[in-house]
Amino acid sequence: MCEGLKRQEIIRRQRDIGVVMSAGKRVSSAFFTLLYKGRDETFPSQRIAFLLNSKIKGAVVRNRLKRRLREIFRRNRRWFPLGYDYIIQVRTGAEKLKFDELKEEIKTLAGMIKDVN
């Protein structure tokens, strides 16, 4: 049984990422910026993308960080309102955080989301 994110739960198209980045709202913490924008579709779902700072060196480090963030999102979707696209921009230094610290940072960011119907 696959427990990862489904293909339709990940923002893959550059155009969709650009829309969220240009027209979405944002909240920030020391290591992350969360951008979010409501979707026009009637199907209430969530989509997410993770953008890592290019200064985070090493493929192993970058991939491990993305895997951890995907897992945090997958297990804690209830933190994020339905019907939105989310982009989490990761800053340098986040790769040094432990899993529980990453989880608390993301939970704090999700709690800062406003203007949700």
Predicted pLDDT at 1? 46
* Residue 117 is assigned to a structural domain of this protein: no
Amino acid, res. 51: L
Give the tokens for residue 39.
């979707």
Q: How many domains does the chain have?
A: 1
Number of residues that this document lists for the chain: 117
Whether residue 16 has pLDDT greater than 80: yes
Examine residue 1 and state whether it is found in any structural domain, yes or no.
Answer: no
Q: Report, as an integer, the average pLDDT of 66-89.
A: 93
CA angle 49, 97, 27 (to 5 degrees): 45
Residues 6+ apart with CB under 8 A from 99: 68, 72
Residue 59: what residue type?
Answer: A
* Owning domain of residue 14: 7-111
* pLDDT single digits (tens) 49-63: 999 988 999 999 999
CATH of the domain at 82: 3.30.230.10
Global confidence as pTM: 0.88
